[in-house]
Amino acid sequence: MSSNLIRQQFLDFFASKGHQIVPSAPIVVKNDPTLMFTNAGMNQFKDLFLGNEVPKYKRVADTQKCLRVSGKHNDLEEVGVDTYHHTMFEMLGNWSFGDYFKTEAIEWAWELLTKVYGLSPDRLYVTVFEGDASENLAFDTDAKNEWKKWIAEDRILLGNKKDNFWEMGDTGPCGPCSEIHVDLRTDAERKAVDARTLVNNDHPQVIEIWNLVFMEFNRKADGSLENLPAKHVDTGMGFERLCRAIEGKASNYDTDVFMPLIRLVEEKTGKAYGKEEKTDIAMRVLADHIRTISFAILDGQLPSNNGAGYVIRRILRRAVRYYFTFLDRKEPLLYEMIPTLAEGFAGIFPEMKAKLAFIENVVREEELGFLRTLENGLNLIKSEKSIHTNSEKILAGSFAFKLYDECGFPIDLTNLILADDGIQVDLPEFNRLLEEQKSRSRKATTQSSGDWIIVRPGDACEFVGYDTLEAEVQITRMRSVKQKNKDLIQLVFDRTPFYAESGGQVGDTGFIQSANEKIRIIDTQKENNLIIHIAEKFPENPEAAFVAHVDQVKRRDTTNNHSATHLM
Ligand code: SER
């Protein structure tokens, strides 16, 4: 069965159970300060779970583009090295917003896997939440009883809070979950070792494919759990893993989701997949990372030097490093993979084909830039090696750190290049400098925040500061933050004349005033696309109408392309 058919069957199945099929949200998150990228299908439905929004449909299903490369769910280092983690993956999901709960969620998951997709029940195992005394959470007896209708009791395993209590991040909707695992080993292996000892134990052939979450709680910023206004279902199935299970392949990369990309890399580099481990890892890294890079750019996140853009730049550079080092490729390669990628997704995300030239250009330019850096780094290493290597063939850690810090040259690459001449880096010194740098940046950014208090609906904030130094504004949300040991307040408005520059510069300070109070704005910052105003105290009446006054406007920079309006 082809992957496109597998995806379609999922959607058709849930449509037949009364679900509305909805589009994937963009992979880049614009209006949630707790997230950079969509890391789960439920992100776009967070406000429905929390009761802040009324659902248009009580049952929906979709395939969601997800990225797990930062924050709580981060798989980056495993990607390519193993055969079943990805930076970007599609999550097939069905949702109930205060409608059906465990009975139907479990019955339908079983029906789809065993009847529609024809997976053998003999290879399936499920887990249920065993409870957690420290949080006063009970054993999920209901889920266990529901599963007993479908699967032998000895295939229902218990899982702890780490595996069977799903949370979106440090705060937000959460609840106990029940996972479905599939055993893809050969019969001989299955006979030799009981799969139950391998579930949730990082075995590459005994893998989780579907997670059914029963949303009941909201995790607050102080760590406590409060009940949600209603109970919901949030399921997420790893599409690439499902394809592998149905197509009976030994690795996600052997499915028709990734194979066309790997074949293309073989063709472009003249190397074969499946012959040598290092080459294979590099090809998997490329086949995986090009998806993340391309979808992020498509959804509006260009590679850059900070925030979400930096994450994308690092992923792109990781891919370049792999082809440069292990596939002997010294010129751009990733951008040449994009037409094949777009073709594979033409049926479900046709927008990639439409923006092909733009994405290719961005990627190629990035590749060229980093390849130049790599080359410069190589030259620096060459001269440093001949002058400053001591008799024990040890190169100073400070030099390796400089390469890393200033040229983006990762330590493993430096090591690899030096290894040819039997030279080693003074690693303890390198690590000490790295640790010092990390601790400096931790100190600089240490910040903890309370929950947002929503004053009125809406996330968009119009920047009106090019035309005026004064504007009527309304507060849409606020929260307390601890920044560099100071207790401060963050305020978000519907529109603002304050210019979001960090560091309290002209243009981003002033005050807001209502009939009864005046509040000083000491800084304005942009964080994940929210324009945030820093104040020293909460307004007594946040719902009042305020007039904002900017202290003194920054001279308008006519050389840049800022449009007069920043909409989020
Ligand atoms: N939210 C759950 C997950 O991401 C199920 O969709 O695994």
Q: What is the pLDDT of residues 72-118, one digit of tens each?
A: 556 677 788 889 889 999 999 999 999 999 999 999 999 999 999 99
Alpha carbon of 171 to ligand 1 centroid (Å): 15
Is the pLDDT at 389 greater than 80? The verdict is: no
Give just the sign of the alpha carbon dihedral 184, 187, 188, 193: positive
Copy the structure tokens of residue 452.
Answer: 């947002």
Specify the DSSP element, H or E, that contains 382.
helix 356-388
Would you say the CB of residue 213 lies under 6 angstroms from ligand 1?
A: yes
Copy the structure tokens of residue 497.
Answer: 């004349």
Return the pLDDT at 554. Answer: 39
Return the pLDDT at 431. Answer: 92
Closest CA to 550 of 473, 464, 469: 469
Alpha carbon of 418 to ligand 1 centroid (Å): 43
Would you say the CB of residue 175 lies under 6 angstroms from ligand 1?
A: no
40 CA: nearest ligand 1 atom: 4
Would you give the distance in Å from CA 303 to the centre of its chain?
A: 15
For 195-239, what is each residue's pLDDT tens digit? 999 999 989 999 999 999 999 999 998 999 999 999 999 999 999
Rounded to two decimals, what is the model's pTM? 0.73
Would you say the CB of residue 41 lies under 6 angstroms from ligand 1?
A: yes
| Mean pLDDT for the stretch of residues 416-442 | 82
Residue 74, strand partner residues: 69
Residue 54 to residue 347: CA distance in whole angstroms: 31
Residue 426 to residue 1: CA distance in whole angstroms: 53
Residue 469 to residue 466: CA distance in whole angstroms: 8
| Nearest CA, atom 2, ligand 1 | 236
Would you say the CB of residue 34 lies under 6 angstroms from ligand 1?
A: no
For 172-191, what is each residue's pLDDT tens digit? 899 999 999 999 999 999 99
| Mean pLDDT for the stretch of residues 139-155 | 98
168 CA: nearest ligand 1 atom: 1
Under 8 Å between Cβ of 115 and 16? no
CB atoms within 10 A of CB 351: 12
Under 8 Å between Cβ of 63 and 24? yes
Copy the structure tokens of residue 414.
Answer: 């430096």
Residue 322 to residue 203: CA distance in whole angstroms: 25
Return the pLDDT at 433. Answer: 92
**Average pLDDT taken over every residue of the chain:** 88
Under 8 Å between Cβ of 140 and 129? yes
Residue 325 to residue 407: CA distance in whole angstroms: 17
Closest CA to 566 of 519, 532, 543: 532
Q: Which of 242-246, 305-309, 359-363 has the lowest mean pLDDT?
A: 305-309
Q: Which positions ≥6 away from 207 have C-beta within 8 Å? A: 84, 181, 182, 184, 241
Residue 42 to residue 51: CA distance in whole angstroms: 14
CA atoms within 13 A on the CB side of 532: 21
Would you say the CB of residue 235 lies under 6 angstroms from ligand 1?
A: yes
CA torsion angle 312 316 318 322 (round to 10): 160
91 CA: nearest ligand 1 atom: 6
Return the pLDDT at 383. Answer: 80
Beta strands in 38-171 (DSSP E): 59-67, 69-70, 73-74, 88-96, 124-129, 156-159, 165-167
Return the pLDDT at 106. Answer: 98
Is the pLDDT at 6 greater than 60? The verdict is: yes
CA torsion angle 513 563 445 30 (round to 10): 100
Cα 542–545–546 angle (5° rounding)?
85
Under 8 Å between Cβ of 547 and 471? yes
Is the pLDDT at 505 greater than 60? The verdict is: no
Q: Which positions ≥6 away from 198 have C-beta within 8 Å? A: 183, 206
The pairing of strands 20-21 and 59-67 is: parallel
Closest CA to 80 of 331, 252, 312, 268: 252
Would you say the CB of residue 211 lies under 6 angstroms from ligand 1?
A: yes
Crossing angle of helices 356-388/307-326, nearest 10°? 70
CA torsion angle 45 51 56 61 (round to 10): 30
Is the pLDDT at 507 greater than 60? The verdict is: yes
Phi-psi bin for 527: left (phi > 0), alpha (psi -120 to 50), beta? beta
Under 8 Å between Cβ of 53 and 47? yes
Alpha carbon of 93 to ligand 1 centroid (Å): 8
Would you give the distance in Å from CA 516 to the centre of its chain?
A: 43
Q: Which amino acid is at 443?
A: K
Return the pLDDT at 14. Answer: 98
Q: Which ranges of 395-449 does DSSP label H, i.e. alpha helix?
A: 397-407, 411-419, 427-445
* 3-state SS class at 96: strand
CB atoms within 10 A of CB 18: 14
- Give the total residue count for the chain: 568
Copy the structure tokens of residue 106.
Answer: 């479990």
* 3-state SS class at 20: strand
Return the pLDDT at 564. Answer: 23
Alpha carbon of 234 to ligand 1 centroid (Å): 6
CA atoms within 13 A on the CB side of 427: 8
| Nearest CA, atom 3, ligand 1 | 236
Would you say the CB of residue 55 lies under 6 angstroms from ligand 1?
A: no
| Mean pLDDT for the stretch of residues 262-269 | 98
For 325-373, what is each residue's pLDDT tens digit? 899 999 999 999 999 999 999 999 999 999 999 999 999 999 999 998 8
530 falls in which pLDDT band (50, 70, 90)?
confident
Task: Quote the percentage of the chain above a pLDDT of 70.
Answer: 91
Return the pLDDT at 290. Answer: 98
Return the pLDDT at 114. Answer: 98
Return the pLDDT at 29. Answer: 86
Residue 429 to residue 417: CA distance in whole angstroms: 19
* 3-state SS class at 325: helix
| Nearest CA, atom 6, ligand 1 | 236
Would you say the CB of residue 238 lies under 6 angstroms from ligand 1?
A: no
What is the DSSP code (8-state) at residue 506?
T
Residue 566 to residue 561: CA distance in whole angstroms: 12
Return the pLDDT at 166. Answer: 95
Burial class, 57, CB count within 10 angstroms (exposed 0-12 / middle 13-18 / buried 19+): middle
529 falls in which pLDDT band (50, 70, 90)?
low
Return the pLDDT at 559. Answer: 27
Residue 43 to residue 22: CA distance in whole angstroms: 14
Among 213, 219, 239, the mutation site with the greatest number of ligand 1 atoms within 8 A of its Cβ is 213
Distances (CA, A) of 522 to 444, 463, 491, 512, 526: 18, 18, 11, 11, 14
Closest CA to 94 of 59, 56, 143: 59
For 199-208, what is each residue's pLDDT tens digit? 999 899 999 9
